[in-house]
Amino acid sequence: MIVRLESAAVVFHSTNLRVRTRTTVRNDLLAYVTFGAQAKGTVNGLPARPDLMLVAEPESEARFVADAGWESITFLLPPPDISAHLAARQREKEYRLPHGVEMLQVSADKARGLFDWGKRLVDIAARQPALFNERNNERVAAHVELLETLLATLRVAGDLEVDRSDRTRQAHSLIVKIAEDFVLSHAEEHLYVSDLCRAAAVSERTLEYAFKEVLGLTPVTYLIRLRLHRVRQALLAATQGTTTVSAEALNWGFWHFGEFSRAYKECFGELPSDTLRRKPGEPRRAT
């Protein structure tokens, strides 16, 4: 859910499943993220929890791993808005704008207060959208209150002191990012674990540790899932009589058709022959 307030925006995220996602901050906005009481996960390998706040500069990328029960509120504001309010309060020296993606330590009460403020705003907007869509005074007032509440929280925030395990998680997160970027840039190629090791410049053991921690999968399983998705894309794009399941399976290195069919159904909930028979755009039947 997104609520737009003048030059700022408030975004609510939640999930009841474990998910991974990557997002890049717009080039004209700063991002401040607070986490709900049940939030567990990581951002670029750093822990995400209710007593911490994520800050990210424009055009920086954040890689989230969110467990079930995750809730977060993201506040997006132009850097001049923050700078102008700090200057008006003669507080420019108290706070620096972030470099990349950083995590700040905040008191639990202050962090919870900021999260609750954002959640109330989102809840009100969901019930009464006209309040912000049609009434300029309400948008302006909410925008000013957002800045006041955010700056009060930042005043008591400090840099997070990372320990050895945090640094290891950060390194693993970066390894997986490099490997995934390599995979995406070689989408039509048959890739192997050795290719990922070379791309990330790490040993097979280090690669496996990183993938297990971040993805919960071994690199081999990850590549098998990737190939299954490539087969599925080909089957969904095919027209009647232009290909067969066997041909696409062989094309992506699946030689044992029985094992392939079982793995495909486990991944997608249907047999590859069902996918091929489906007309383009037709939804999968419930089972």
Angle of CA points 105, 106, 107, to nearest 5°: 130
Token representation of residue 131: 């309040």
pLDDT at 10 over 60: yes
pLDDT of residue 287: 47
Interval 10-25 mean pLDDT: 91
pLDDT at 133 over 80: no
Q: Which fold has domain 165-277?
A: Arc Repressor Mutant, subunit A (1.10.10)
Interval 229-244 mean pLDDT: 85
pLDDT at 286 over 60: no
Query: pLDDT digits over 106-122, tens only?
Result: 988 899 999 999 999 99
Strands 8-15 and 2-5: antiparallel
3-state secondary structure of 201: coil
DSSP letter at 231 equals H
pLDDT of residue 194: 94
8 A C-beta contact, residue 13 and residue 34: no
Of 22-31, 85-94, 235-244, least confident by mean pLDDT is 85-94
Q: What does the domain layout of the chain look like in residue ranges? A: 2-161, 165-277
Rg (CA), the chain: 23
Residue of 65 and 280 predicted with greater confidence? 65
| CATH assignment, 2-161 | 2.60.120.280
